[in-house]
Structure formats: structure tokens, C-alpha cells
Amino acid sequence: MRFLDTTLRDGEQTPGVALTRDKKLLIARALDEMGVSIIEAGSAITSEGERNSIKAVTNAGLNAEICSYCRIVKFDVDRALECDVDSIHLVAPVSDLHIKTKIKKDRDAVRQIAAEVTEYAKDHGLIVELSGEDASRADPDFLKAVYADGVDAGADRLCFCDTVGLLVPERTTEIFRDLSSSLKAPISVHCHNDFGLATANTIAALAAGAKQAHVTVNGLGERAGNASLEEVIMSLEWLYKYDTGIKHEMIYRTSRLVSRLTGIPVSPNKALVGGNAFTHEAGIHVHGLLADKATYEPMSPEYIGRQRQIVLGKHAGRSSISLALKEMGLEADDVQTEEIFNRVKQMGDQGKYVTDADLQAIAETVLDIYREPLVKLEEFTIVSGNRVTPTASIKLNVKDKEIVQAGIGNGPVDAVINAIRRAVSSCAEDIILEEYHVDAITGGTDALVEVRVKLSKNGKVITASGARTDIIMASVEAVMNGMNRLIRVE
Ligand SMILES: CC(=O)SCCNC(=O)CCNC(=O)[C@H](O)C(C)(C)COP(=O)(O)OP(=O)(O)OC[C@H]1O[C@@H](n2cnc3c(N)ncnc32)[C@H](O)[C@@H]1OP(=O)(O)O
Ligand SMILES: CC(=O)C(=O)O
């Protein structure tokens, strides 16, 4: 079974995404290391910049086959050849809707042009995967005729595109049983997620004889996206016990990389790679997990390079509280644990998210411990405007030593956080800001804002918050709270 990753082509068609050459290279290297067979690096016809990017991926010395999308147009094939690609994903519209209204031709013309362009590409040394676009709305006999002519013209592989995501698993099984037994070349499946069935349809196609699946990291792609790499790979590995050969421990890291470089956030409840996929808040779950992880986890998070997280909130139980206190190195007797539990519940009832720093503050009050923060804010200044680079200077007291530092950023918040990170680098060099989230608690421009951050250091992750009417102060407060906690738990 092979995987064609099209994050850099269909994934890049996600509205708002445009990857530079360097970003494409970073993603291509990660995909290659993970072990995908083919990387569709882009559509060479798109622009000069796209051709430079594809060429850079082709010349990066990767193991994967590098592919460009092409229409059934010789000019497109010439542009792909300029990029030195190994293969083309040659796409012929096959439904009458696409043939008549989109490219204004007839069935015979499509059959003829698809075969001619296939032959042209083969004559120029390319591997050809001939795709039927909108195949799920095409006449099956006509589709098979296009494929048969393509194979006669030299096509190495064929592909069935469910272009607007209309398949259901039962129908997919019927189609791929028929195609895989009647075609003279291996067939691939390319699914879109318009009805949330892309992964299910892809798995059904593979089970019914497809030899290759098109996937994208985080399910990026046109409209609702494509079949997601992580869902397809992990369903096969974990649910079907099929060894895909993909380095599954790289899945989460690659998902984060793609999210960061494309600017498309992953929804918290996204299967496998969403922020909440291995995070537990409900007391009953945490109690169960402490006895056996399998009670409330379908698989171990480490398998895809993740870690489990227990968070506190309205649904916390005493088991979660005891666990969190233990992780903080704090000891509480039954009465103290009960009091901390009640205060956490009160925060939850007020609609608040209970961060690690909040729990620490509650616990320290209840246990009557006062710990002087290791990093204290003395003062900061920010310069921002439409004609200046946002710049911040900060004075901190770090472990009783005064440190003055400056930082620049994309905006004033970014600048001040960078300044803080530089100032504390002497005692906390590798603190990473994993997430930054801001909410306006009340309405209006003078609203109280709450900033929540997730910071990590050497694999230890903590959450902290700050609430002020000034977004910069709230951000500074959240980051300082979090840093103090992270430095202390070392
Ligand atoms: C389902 C998919 O994901 S398809 C892939 C989508 N990818 C892209 O669109 C890549 C980015 N696109 C582009 O940069 C531009 O659209 C270009 C350079 C390809 C073409 O730009 P233009 O020449 O201005 O054409 P425009 O975008 O307006 O229309 C698309 C043309 O391609 C034709 N076309 C569309 N699909 C195909 C196909 N598979 N085979 C042959 N021709 C096709 C259309 O009929 C239309 O032709 P026309 O201009 O002669 O009417
Ligand atoms: C080619 C392609 O991306 C599609 O038909 O969905």
C-alpha cells in the first residue's frame, strides 16, 4: 500500500494558504522522513514561484517520488518537466457536468486528449498517474474507457477522484472492487471531506483493492479538505492492524509543523492531532485512567509522538486534584484536598478554565505556603505604531538579579513576550510558547481580557492565565505566571 501526500498541492488549495519555497521544503522533508511514497509538491502551471518551489523539492535529494499536478494540457506537462519532477498527477475531467460545462468538450475529446497527453508525458520520461476528476459523478463505463485508453498510452497508475466528496463507504467498496479487478494498472483513491466521510471512504477503497491513497496532513485541502494522513494511517495501523510503513511517531510533530507553516489551526477536537485528543478533564475519566490508561484512551498517545494531558475544570474529581498536586510536588491531607477540590469546582461554576498556575495558587493558599516567584516584573515599555517595528524593553528581577532586555515582534504582545524570553534565558533557556489564546470577557474596547498560554520546557507542559483590561498586561501576566511555574517544577 502506498501513500501520495498532497499537502503541498491540494492542501495548499486550502483558502488562505500559500507556501513559500522554504516552507514547502520543510514540509516535504518531514513527509519524506515519515515515509510517504509520493509527494505531490504543487501544480507547476500555477506560477513561476510555484515552479521554483517544486524544483527545490525535486532537487532536495528526498527518497519520495516527487509529483506535479497537471491538467490534460501539454503546456502543463512542459511546466512540470521544467521542475525535474519524477511524475505527474494528470487530471482529466470525467463527469458530463465537468466535461460539458467546465471544459466545454465532449466525452470523445476527453478520451482522446487524456491519452495523447499521457503519451506525451511518457515520451518525456515521466511516471503518469492518470486521474478521473469528479469520477464519482461520471458514467462508470466512460470512466473505464478513459482509464483503458490511458493505460494503452502508457499510464503507470490510475486515480479515482471523489472531487466534491459525494461517496459513502458502501458505494466506494462496490466501485473499487469493480475497478481493481477490471483495470490493467493500480488504482489510487483521492477523497474529499465535504460530508466528513473522506477517511471512511479512503479506508473502504483500500480494503476493496485500491493500491494507493491520497492524503493530506491535518486533512487540509479544497473546501472541507481531503482525507487526513493521520486518520488514514492510524485507522489502518491501530484499527486494522496493518503496518503502513509510515513512521507513526512523527505524525504529531508533522501536524504541528504543517499547522504552523500554513497558519491553519487544528481544531481542538480533531481526531488524533487535536489539542484535546489525549487531554482528560472529567473526574470519572481521570479516576479510570489512573487504574488503567485503556479505560478512556483508544491508543497510547506516544504512538504518534504525543503525551497525555490531565487538566482541571468544572468536571474535576479528587483523583485529578491529587494527581496534579503530586506533579507539583505538593502534599495535601484529606481535608486540604477537599478544600482545594471545592475551590476548583467554584472556579468551574463561574465558567472559568482552571490553569496549572491557578491550581498552584489555590493549593498554596490552602496549604499556607507562600513561594516567592523566581521571576518578578519590575517594568516594561512598548513602542508600536504603523511605521515602527513593535519593540519592547523589559526589566525583570530573575532570582534576585536585575535583568534588562529588549525584543521585537510582529506586534506589541509578540515583542514583549520575546523580551521576557530573552531576559529569563539565563535560567530558562528552552521555554517554548506552545499556544496563546485571548478572550474578551466583557464587551467593548475597555473589556476585561483573559489570556491563556500553554508553555513547555523539556516536554513538561503547563497552562497559565492572566486577566486584565490591558491585553499586553494580561499577556505578560500569563507568561510570567507560566514561566514561574515551569522554572519551579524543574
Ligand atoms: C479538483 C482540483 O483540485 S483541480 C486543481 C486546482 N488547481 C488549480 O487551480 C491550480 C492553480 N490554478 C491556476 O494557477 C490557474 O487556474 C491556471 C494557471 C491553471 C489557469 O489559469 P487561466 O488560464 O487563467 O484559466 P482559469 O483559471 O480561468 O480557468 C481554468 C482553465 O482550465 C481548464 N481546465 C480545468 N481543468 C482542466 C483539466 N483537468 N484539463 C484541461 N483543462 C482544464 C478550464 O476549462 C479553463 O480553461 P479556459 O481558460 O480555456 O476556459
Ligand atoms: C484532482 C483533485 O484534486 C480532485 O479531483 O479532487
ipTM for the complex?
A: 0.98
**Which residues line the pocket of ligand 1, CB cutoff 6 A?**
10, 13, 43, 45-46, 69, 71-73, 91-93, 102-103, 133, 163, 222
Determine whether the shortest distance from the Cβ of 133 to ligand 2 is under 6 A: yes
Among 62-76, 321-335, 415-429, name the most confident range.
62-76
**Residue 466 confidence (pLDDT):** 87
What percent of the chain stands above pLDDT 70? 99
Instruction: Work out whether the CA dihedral 138, 141, 147, 152 comes out positive or negative.
Output: negative
Q: Which ligand is nearest to the CA of 13?
A: 1
Contact 412, 384 (CB under 8 A): yes
**How many angstroms is it from 433 CA to the middle of ligand 2?**
37
**Residue 440 confidence (pLDDT):** 73
Tens of pLDDT along 399-444? 889 999 999 999 999 999 999 989 988 777 788 888 898 887 666 7
Q: Mean pLDDT over residues 115-124, rounded?
A: 98
The verdict on domain 375-488 having CATH code 3.30.160.270 is: yes
pLDDT bracket for residue 137 (50, 70, 90): very high
**How many angstroms is it from 324 CA to the middle of ligand 2?**
48
CATH fit for domain 2-262, picks 3.40.1650.10, 3.40.50.2300, 3.30.70.580, 3.20.20.70: 3.20.20.70
Grid look-up 491520497 returns: 214
Q: Which atom of ligand 2 is nearest to the CA of 161?
A: 5
Determine whether the shortest distance from the Cβ of 10 to ligand 2 is under 6 A: yes
Is the pLDDT at 247 greater than 80? The verdict is yes
Residues 6 or more apart from 179 whose CB is under 8 A from it? 144, 147, 158, 160, 187, 209
3-state secondary structure of 395: strand
- Determine if the pTM surpasses 0.90: no
Residues 6 or more apart from 441 whose CB is under 8 A from it? 447, 448, 449, 450, 467
Q: Mean pLDDT over residues 338-359, rounded?
A: 89
The verdict on domain 279-366 having CATH code 1.10.238 is: yes
**Residue 489 confidence (pLDDT):** 61
- For ligand 1, atom 51, name the residue with the nearest CA: 103
pLDDT bracket for residue 79 (50, 70, 90): very high
Domain parsing of the chain, residue ranges: 2-262, 279-366, 375-488
**How many angstroms is it from 250 CA to the middle of ligand 2?**
26
Is the pLDDT at 488 greater than 80? The verdict is no
**How many angstroms is it from 48 CA to the middle of ligand 2?**
22
Q: What share of the chain is helix, strand, coil (3-state, %, to 5)?
A: 45, 20, 35
Pocket test for ligand 2, best of 134, 190, 223 (most atoms within 8 A of CB): 190
125 to each of 42, 56, 77, 128, 438, how far by Cα in Å? 19, 20, 11, 9, 53
Tens of pLDDT along 205-228? 999 999 999 999 999 999 999 999
What amino acid is encoded at 357 in this protein?
Answer: A
- Grid cell for residue 212: 494507493
Q: Please give the Cα distance from 450 to 133 (Å, whole number).
A: 47
Task: Round the average pLDDT of the chain to a whole number and report it.
Answer: 94
Contact 260, 22 (CB under 8 A): no
173 to each of 27, 82, 186, 214, 216, how far by Cα in Å? 32, 38, 16, 17, 22
pLDDT bracket for residue 374 (50, 70, 90): confident
pLDDT bracket for residue 299 (50, 70, 90): very high
Contact 143, 175 (CB under 8 A): no
**How many angstroms is it from 73 CA to the middle of ligand 1?**
10
Among 171-180, 393-402, 412-421, name the most confident range.
171-180
Q: Mean pLDDT over residues 111-137, rounded?
A: 98
Is the pLDDT at 272 greater than 60? The verdict is yes
Nearest to 94 by CA among 168, 215, 19, 175: 175
Q: Which ligand is nearest to the CA of 40?
A: 2
**Residue 441 confidence (pLDDT):** 66
